[in-house]
Structure 1
């Protein structure tokens, strides 16, 4: 598990590269088993889902999401009027691709 923001962002990019990208939710419903706790580190994920799956704790994950948001030039939650977090809305844009998300995560990690 990643313990700092840059490691977290790179690990999230690696997860999406290796296991797939998702839109519309943190992970596809198929990633959740009927029993037990799923391993979300190996599930397809959106940008936020991969960041949270790869973070060592919720504070690191939240900081990584905020860093990605700033890197993308997206508005902060205090000025955002959409129904989703700005990073989730960016990820879920129909024109977005997995490659866009992976590249954005890697750039934000620099």
Structure 2
């Protein structure tokens, strides 16, 4: 079982998906359910189903962080330390924001 931690930025964006990402109510519901499910899956099993496309990022400043897809352009960024069984959910973002590298 992995230990889960979240940043203030992750919590803020998760609580306000519609505001930050201009999602419809249906998209907010789908994204919320997918994020909650993914966190439980990672906590219990350490891996996600293939459809999440979980992978390690290679470009600065995100080198070593993991990213997975919730909606087509809604991404969850987290950092994993397998040795200590820790997962730190950093933010929720888009491809465009991720490429900029600097999140508010």
TM-score of the aligned structures, taking structure 2 as reference length: 0.27
* Higher share in strand: 2
* Higher share in helix: 1
